[in-house]
Chains A and B, each alone.
Chain A
């Protein structure tokens, strides 16, 4: 089944312009698991009649992994290419499905000439709920325990702690906190380009340590807001052989499930 998703080009050839650009990101475009999150976000936006567009094949890596790894050259090459595309289309509002894209576009593009109003999808979902455009049907998650894992670049990086929690609270579930949460949350281990290499010698993998901590509260679902956290914690759950008792889902997927989208 093909989703109804239009590119900015589609809008322009119809003489229209989108309200907001959905910046998908590499993981969410190519990774099979993360593609499901991307589709969930698109379905939710469609169900709320949000006029959104994607760049499609015109989008290129925002440069975050290069910048965190220390390759400022490559980062700026990517950034300048994207800024050229975005400015060329006159984009002003962007929603991202990934906290890394969110942080880079929001904070690191302005100095290179790309200034946009950038939000993470948890913030858009919160807005849609507050504006009454998105209603979440209860029932599906009645009595289920959900723990939210804060992505570093959403939480500490940009002080967004409440938006994802506000969204989860709309499900008829119980929201639990991991021992270390919000500003004290433990990283999943993927950031800083770590996901692109083996970790340095140590005595444990970070994602396993974090997953163990989250599992202490015996949740039915681990809610995430980042495709990389999703990978790391899913791997952690697999390593600890808990795949049968706990699912790792993005907040968009929780809504998708609740509303049967």
Chain B
């Protein structure tokens, strides 16, 4: 009874804090500018099912795709077990789903196999990061926190799965000994292999171990849930909405700035009446996170820093400062900073910082070839390119800080209608020369 009350309190607190943090993230995302991504729902569902649920873009790299799929399947399927643990915890029952009989045995056996495979996959991933030191996990923006974040996640998953298996190992011994409360249920293909090691323990000792693992497992999961909003691992949730709201247009198409269209039309035809001035000061392009759209901000919370974008970026490959992953990490870090500023002050109080310059340097932005390799590589359809372009727009149109050679190119287009110094009258000369 006391156990049930303690459990209920911990569970309720865990859910409350998680919901509060998710609410804050939602608010942060909605600081972004409006953008309509509610068209074509059928196509959006399909994209989400294919890319997030079906992990279609992971398959480009088969080895991580295989191990990632194991952890993903483990996460999805073991949730059924967590449901049982929660009911048991609140109601004080034990293995409440055991009435399912053979199906229950099948499920528990399946969870055990997945748990072992998950441990193997996590060990492989830890080795790739810390022993093989794959380049994309050690590049410039992968400073100590992003690297620790990854290791904490993998290590926690190993601990959780080990506790789950040890819980089953002690449980089955207690079942065999006919201890009251431990009804005979479940099949244990993995934990039965090392259960004999625990057989020397007293019944009380086993019960203690079983309870310790049960509590450790579920409290660990609740703690992990609350770690998510602070971690890159938040992608396990965000991958789904983020792929639903994917850009469905051709990747080559860049957004049209309607505010610019107004002004350009006025310039070309001064007889048009200008629209009434709007209340909000207009800014071309993006200087800070509030200038980005909510989708660009959602992208930043979805990024799990896998670095596939950066590993295919032509600028990054050839040693330039630009890294699409860093663009996403910077956007999230700045947005989180703006968010805590709002939490503290009620509304955003100017802190003298901006995403541009304080986080992202113009040199990074100029290096982009807009080739879309990053957006193609992202397994959850994040678009770093659009942020790069919006920040270029701010630098070029608001600050007039384009590289000198680009300013030259601009004036040539303006003056002689081509990005090079040629006379417009010579444009058709190509037909003559041979």
Q: Residues on A close to B: CB < 8 A? A: 1-3, 5, 7, 24, 26, 28-31, 35, 38-39, 42, 54, 56-57, 59-61, 63, 65-74, 76-78, 80-81, 103, 106-108, 111-112, 152-153, 156-159, 183-184, 186-187, 189-194, 196-206, 209-210
Contact = CB atoms under 8 A, between A and B. Distances in A.
Contacts of A35: 430, 433
B417 A29 contact: no
A27 to B, nearest CB: 8
B181 interface: no
B260 A72 contact: yes
Nearest to A208: B318
Give 5 closest A-B pairs by Cβ, nearest first: A157-B252, A70-B392, A203-B319, A192-B370, A202-B319
A161 to B, nearest CB: 12
B393 A72 contact: yes
Contacts of A194: 367, 369
B250 interface: yes
Nearest to B262: A76
Contacts of A61: 413, 417-419
B430 A39 contact: yes
A257 B257 CA distance: 44
Nearest to A196: B409
Nearest to A209: B318
Interface in B384-410: 389, 391-397, 402-403, 405-406, 408-410
Q: Which of B250, B391, B424 has the most CB of A within 10 A?
A: B250
Interface size class on chain B is 35 or more
22 contacts: A2-B431, A7-B428, A28-B430, A35-B433, A57-B427, A63-B413, A68-B389, A69-B410, A70-B397, A106-B250, A112-B256, A184-B60, A186-B371, A187-B371, A197-B405, A199-B320, A200-B363, A200-B367, A202-B318, A202-B319, A202-B320, A204-B317
A232 to B, nearest CB: 10
A103 B254 CA distance: 10
A30 B254 contact: no
A127 B205 CA distance: 78
Interface in B217-260: 249-254, 256-257, 260
A106 B403 CA distance: 28
Contacts of A203: 318-319
A192 B254 contact: no
B315 interface: yes
